[in-house]
Amino acid sequence: MALMRSWVESANFSTSDFPLNNLALGVFSVGEDEPRCGVAIGDKIVDVAALEEAGLMDLAGAPLFDVPFWNELMEAGPEVWAAFRARMTELLVEGAPEKAEVAPHLVAQAEAEMHLPFLVSEYTDFYAGRNHAVNVGTMFRGAANALPPNWLHLPIGYNGRASSVVVSGTEVRRPLGQLKPPQAERPYFGPCKRFDFELEMGAIVGQASDGPVSVGEADAMIFGYVLLNDWSARDIQAWEYQPLGPFQAKATATTISPWIVMAAALQPFRAVGPEREVELLPYLQEPGPMLYDIALEVALTPKGGAESVISRTNYREMYYSSAQQLAHHTSSGCPMNVGDLLGSGTISGPVRESRGSLLELSWGGKEPLELASGGVRNFLEDGDTLTLRGAARGAGYRIGFGECAGKVVAAMALPDWAK
Ligand code: CA
């Protein structure tokens, strides 16, 4: 697959996250205007709501983009998703006859504020990266028992909170919680001391289901992907998680990138899953390559300091794909809705430099991570900005996600009733 050239010049630069091949979807606003649906093209955004109002985009005989979220396009189904991409390509391709009509509806990304791109119905997070599970398991249970007995048979997950999913750029307040240091006799209530990030991809369910679906059907239900940071309070989690799994440790915030990359844009980058150590049950077996070759990196920028890249890995490292996770999620008959968000689980590669959380990078605080820009970290400090980036790389172009960034701010003062 080669670069598709657009009349928007900046979309043709090999360094752009948003060539015509991508057509990533966001919700933006300029100044005091209401948020609107837009498509990223180079360093611009095409105001899709305006295209629809101008009669340049009519896919369903009824408006799809007069709302500040992409759920209505998702609802319309895969045929309309494909028609939408075909029409956007027609309007933005080099030599498009409609150029003069479309050009007035371009906005500079630098001038726009980004909002959550879709209404998050529910949020489920998985634990489906093998390197991450082995690292964490080794720290807590020893190498011999690193993977729980179910791990190679099913993608472990828990039901998270849609209410705290936020868009890139939103500040994240250090959580308060109940903590019990290992040597302490009793727990206390206070600010988390081991606040961490988790590098993940989020899959967005674009079609509803009622009853179990196959992995192939699940794959076709996935509308697109975002970068996802599952902020994690390790000390709150360590005390609360048995026997039902994480609760408040994961409920503070989940940050997603502002751009949805549609699954269609990622098709040239399909990648096969790993060798299976034990055969999966038929309902979890994949009909074809279900992962994607997406290079990922994590950068940490201390307050007033310079950025250090602290991890580089790839979405290919997952053991279970989002399609397998979605199929498993439906297996009990659990209905899935348009706008459901599935976190992949932390994506760690095989070496230290590719680990997807500070818990792993600092090995639970035992091996402090040296930042290239100076200083060390075991866990996040107030004022740290954590930025995820990702892109699938084609010949002379990339399919990028933009940035998924969040700055950690100090915990709220302990209220009197909590002292
Ligand atoms: Ca997670």
How far apart are the CA of 44 and the centre of ligand 1, in A?
32
Q: How far apart are CA 269 and CA 252, in angstroms?
A: 33
pLDDT at 144: 92
Helix (H) or strand (E) run with residue 309 in it: strand 308-314
How far apart are the CA of 200 and the centre of ligand 1, in A?
7
Per-residue pLDDT of the chain (419 residues; tens, 9 = 90+): 899 999 999 999 999 999 999 999 999 999 999 999 999 999 999 999 999 999 999 998 899 999 999 999 999 999 999 999 999 999 999 999 999 999 999 999 999 999 999 999 999 999 999 999 999 999 988 999 999 999 999 999 999 999 999 999 999 999 999 999 999 999 999 999 999 999 999 999 999 999 999 999 999 999 999 999 999 999 999 999 989 999 999 999 999 999 999 999 999 999 998 999 999 999 999 999 999 999 999 999 999 999 999 999 999 999 999 999 999 999 999 999 999 999 999 999 999 999 999 999 999 999 999 999 899 999 999 999 999 999 999 999 999 999 999 999 999 999 999 99
CB-side exposure of 62: number of CA atoms within 13 Å?
5
pLDDT at 22: 98
Query: Which sequence spans correspond to the domains of the chain?
Result: 9-115, 123-418
How far apart are the CA of 124 and the centre of ligand 1, in A?
9
**What single string gives the DSSP state of each residue in 359-409?**
HHHTTTTTSPEEPTTS-EESS--TT-EEEEEEEEEEBTEEEEEEEEEEEEE
pLDDT at 1: 82
Tokens 């100090």 — which residue? 410
Q: Which residues surround ligand 1, an ion (CB under 5 A)?
A: 125, 198, 230
pLDDT at 302: 97
How far apart are the CA of 135 and the centre of ligand 1, in A?
14
pLDDT at 178: 98
CB 204 within 8 A of CB 221: no
How far apart are the CA of 344 and the centre of ligand 1, in A?
7
| CATH code for the part of the protein at 9-115 | 2.30.30.230
Q: How far apart are CA 206 and CA 216, in angstroms?
A: 14
- Report the alpha-carbon angle 48-51-53, nearest 5: 110
How far apart are the CA of 346 and the centre of ligand 1, in A?
5
Tokens 């279970």 — which residue? 320
DSSP state letter for 415: P
Q: Which CATH number fits domain 123-418: 3.40.30.10, 3.90.850.10, 3.10.450.750, 3.30.479.10?
A: 3.90.850.10
| Strand ranges (E), 83-171 | 106-108, 113-115, 123-126, 157-159, 165-167
- Number of Cβ atoms within 10 Å of the Cβ of 39: 24
Residue numbers annotated as active site = 132
pLDDT at 23: 98
| Strand ranges (E), 51-205 | 106-108, 113-115, 123-126, 157-159, 165-167, 172-173, 176-179, 188-191, 195-196, 199-205
